[in-house]
Structure 1
Amino acid sequence: MYMDKLDHSQIVQLWNDTIGNRFPMTNALWHQNTTRDSNVNWKGSVAIVENGELLGFVVTKQFQEQLPVQMSTSIGWLQCLLVKSSARHRGIGSKLLYHAEEALKEANVREILLGRDPWHYFPGVPLEDLSAIEWFKEKGYEKTAVETDLKKNMRNAELYKLTNSADHFRVLSDEDVPNLVQFLKHTFPGRWHYEAVHYEKLLGTGREFIGLYQKARLKGFCRINDAQSPVIAQNVYWSGLVQGELGGIGPLGIDKSIRGKHFGLDLVKAAANELASRGVDEIVIDWTQLDSFYKKLGFIPWKRYQGMRKTIGVK
């Protein structure tokens, strides 16, 4: 059965029965990241149902949007592959994976990544799922980098003191958004630019970005997210696991011409201070390999993921 024909409530139920204690899914998040994402390859996204019971499913993606952004169409993604716990060791996962890979080959995909898709759930396989990692290795996937989500409790925490003048940093306004999009297009083309284009399309007001300015010119940015943001952002996906208000920081980037002057650390500090002023209790920084950088500010590892990839369709 194709995934777009399946009742989403069954999908969310299976997800939460399987991994909901670690990654609690909601209807809103599933609709945002899967149902409504035009990059889903529905031919490769299928479910196995037996006597009306959903036993497993897989979702595949390939970039399909008509946007002026640099996103490869030769890369495919497995957004998620889940099998009901009681239905494992029956070959269901292998059938789902085979179907997904064949559909992506047919779509001229040359490389498959696990997670990391536009509107992703994970940047890889959760590191504690050792059996899943070994299973994918047996299917021809190779390990890449380990990515980390970090977290910090901000309740009663003191605001950070910046090394550089606070005058360099401010929350953007709606009038700043077009300039931000152009900055990212030229300085950080690809995914970050793509996400900013969507932010502009959603009529974002700028409150989700801290800008770094030097001589009135935008030289850096940091994304900040909270419950009032126009999308459920990646660093607040799993808000059901924390008590109180969850906020998120990232991505962030600085023009290479001004690096090495503590602006990066200050940008994170300014972002955390802004979220604290909004009443955020905990902050998550997601999908990074810069653990030591963020540990300087008291962030500690929360979740880790094993990146994995497979080359296909090459004779």
Structure 2
Amino acid sequence: MTPVTAKGDKTAQLPQLQDARNPGMLLDMDWVRAARANRSAIERRAATLPGRRSVKKEFQAAWLARAISCIDLTTLAGDDTPGRVARLCAKARHPVRADLLEALGLDGLTVGAVCVYHDMIGPALAALQGSGIPVAAVSTGFPAGLSPFRLRVAEIEESVQAGAQEIDIVISRRKVLTGDWQGLYDEMRTFRAACGEAHVKAILATGELGTLQNVARASLVCMMAGADFIKTSTGKESVNATLPVSLVMMRAIRAYHEATGYRVGYKPAGGISKAKDAVTYLSLVKEELGDRWLRPDLFRFGASSLLGDIERQLEHHVTGAYSASWRHAAG
């Protein structure tokens, strides 16, 4: 495989990054066309996972703490304000009550990142100063990705200039649905270049791609174009993260790593709100990709309400009693 590199583009400037950044490669259409997805087999495999993977007591607490460290704590509402973002960032710094963390021996636990719209980058940076928690911004005409191309590129550049360390871009779904793989590759390369040293997550919007085969092919093309992460959804589609889609994307990541030696991250987003679901996704990552992917530089949950349920479960582990959900608000 032939890598594509850019001057000064060796690693992403993130506190948790440990591996060399995926530089991308030339578009390999033979590989893309050869990608297949056996839907019935994938759905059978995904359906067995929740029932086969159940962890209890201190093991469950450890898995849930790992899930917290991999959350992109997110607010993407039209009525976001600097005050709301500041409260969310306070929760990102201290995701679990101090007494619970002390009892668990997990002092210093934080989320993986805070994700906001461009206008909220400044307030988020101010609220997270000194924490080491990166700010992620959604971009490229999020969530539909239908604004003029030059404006989508300019939006990335503006967010990077404003201080975002991670950029979540949305691809043009029509390029996947019409089989325009060269167009998708060129688009993603341009977005990657505009991100510079910022981490780039490619949102596939899998619920709008039609087939699992399209998901597999789009995953490969985005990785070939230099994506640091591939992400399921914007959270705004009618169908967001699912286990079958996750299985397809993880296997594409594994194949890419085996072929190139570069690790690409994975981010399921949308609809993951329960602690037990977080454990199921982590279990799938462990089985399909291995322990190395169970760290925030290679795995994230895109979530706004997941943290509250995890905190309730941790409180139950420590005290033996469940608290009301309103006691664990995210912002």
TM-score, normalised to structure 2, is 0.27
User: Which of the pair is proportionally richer in helix?
Assistant: 2
TM-score, normalised to structure 1, is 0.28
